[in-house]
Amino acid sequence: MLNRGEDACNVLKKHIDNKDIIRIISHNDADGISAAGVIAKAIKEEDGQFHVSLIPRLKIDTIKELHNEQYELFVFCDMGSAYIDEINRLKKDVIVADHHQPSKTKEEEHVTHVNPHLFEIDGSKDLSGSGSSYLCVKPMNKKHLAILALVGAFGDMQYNNGFTGVNEIILKDAINSGKLEVFKHLKIVSKDQEPLFKSLAYTLNPPLTGLTGDLEASQEFLEKMGVSYGIKFNDLEDEEKDILKDELVKINPEICSDLFYVAQESPAIRSLEDFSSILDACGKNKKTGLGFSIAIGERGNALDAAITQLNTYRSHLMKGFQWIRREGAVEKEDIQYLYSEDNKLKTIIGTLAGVGLSIDLFNPKKPVIGLSRFQKDIKISGRTTREMVKKGVDLGKALDATSRSFGGQGGGHDIAAGAMIPYDSKDNFLNLVDDMIKDQLNKNNRS
């Protein structure tokens, strides 16, 4: 895997030295923005030039349009592995730095494919898209960019009380850069910026069952223990901090674990999780250019604007959790689903599905399929648990196969995946996904 990253680095360096403008196409979520930032910062530091696009999904038509662009190197970040057949037709040099399940098509000689699945490494937990991108620049002595790769890994929910696989190597590089500190602390978000009850409600990973996504419950929780809820965590008395820590650990022991901290950074993004949340909010609110500018080093007014986006995003999340608590999910035999046409819920339904599973808002024995209508199409966001994956569920394969049956497209990881289908196919799609998940579970039971 590291050797493949070095191959990609050699291609990248060749085009930087040739003074070529390098074309970057990346996903528009926190991992994708971080991935593009890693590649772009490396190019910039080597006095190179780039042109970047951040998009919600890669389509065959998008790749066809690239044939008309006059670039000598195309870099796909956090996407591309499912479209190697189409990417092979780009007759210029290509780097694909991805971590999603790849197609069965083998890349041609001019395509350097960096993907953990090619080396039997789990791309849903051991390496993110930004991590794959980091491996493409690591040989240029870019250990400081490992920090941004970890920001993307947090965005992809790959931190689970520790990093595993290749992410551990990236973590060591980040620490060795001399900029990242790791120490035990309460992992509630925005401790320096938000009133305490909001920090608790906004904390998604690790989740706090009964508090995450519920401002009123968080306020009541603090009132009952006699802790001031309206001030920031860092303004609490030491005794109050100890009381709070003890009570939160009872809810989820993982809430007190490693904090990843860059002391020289602006307060709002000193914690890598907080940094990731800001990039995620920019992506969800269609302010990807703003998120990218933060990823490559802009601060000041840009960071203030990004924090505003974060506040808007969190407001939408709180309303989304209220909606789930009120409406719940519709259960079929082997899946459950959410459906919304609300403009504010459309971009966050995948987050609601994943976090909702982790705080017991849904049946943990059935994958959650979130559906959002976009005019004539429906965007699908599927989430399940590690336990269900062990029992045979693979959402990436299920959503890829079922969406193609209706002229759509999909894919992703076993634990989290997405798709797009025509609106008219909604009911038949859900029935087919339900059947496919049942089949996956039955096959696993027989094996």
Tell me how far apart the alpha carbons of residues 160 and 30 are, in angstroms, rounded to a whole number.
17
Tell me how far apart the alpha carbons of residues 17 and 15 are, in angstroms, rounded to a whole number.
5
Tell me how far apart the alpha carbons of residues 198 and 188 are, in angstroms, rounded to a whole number.
10
pLDDT tens across the length of the chain (447 residues): 999 999 999 999 999 999 999 999 999 999 999 999 999 999 999 999 999 999 998 999 999 999 999 999 999 999 999 999 999 999 899 999 999 999 999 999 999 999 999 999 999 999 999 999 999 999 999 999 999 999 999 999 899 889 999 999 999 999 999 999 999 999 999 988 899 999 999 999 899 999 999 999 999 999 999 888 899 998 999 999 999 999 999 999 999 999 999 999 999 999 999 999 999 999 999 999 999 999 999 999 999 999 999 999 999 999 999 999 999 999 999 999 999 998 888 889 999 999 999 999 999 999 999 999 988 999 999 999 999 999 999 999 999 999 999 998 888 889 999 999 999 999 999 999 999 999 999 988 876
Cα–chain center distance at 234: 28
* E runs forming strands in 174-274: 181-186, 256-261
The DSSP annotation for 432-447 comes to: HHHHHHHHHHHHHHH-
Run of H or E residues at 373: strand 368-374
Which residues fall within 8 angstroms of residue 381, CB to CB, at 6 or more apart?
349, 350, 353, 369, 370, 372, 416, 418
Residue 44 burial by CB count (10 A; 0-12/13-18/19+): exposed, middle or buried? middle
Q: Which residues pair with 410 in a beta bridge?
A: 419
pLDDT tens digits, one per residue of 378-422: 999 999 999 999 999 999 999 999 999 999 888 888 999 999 999
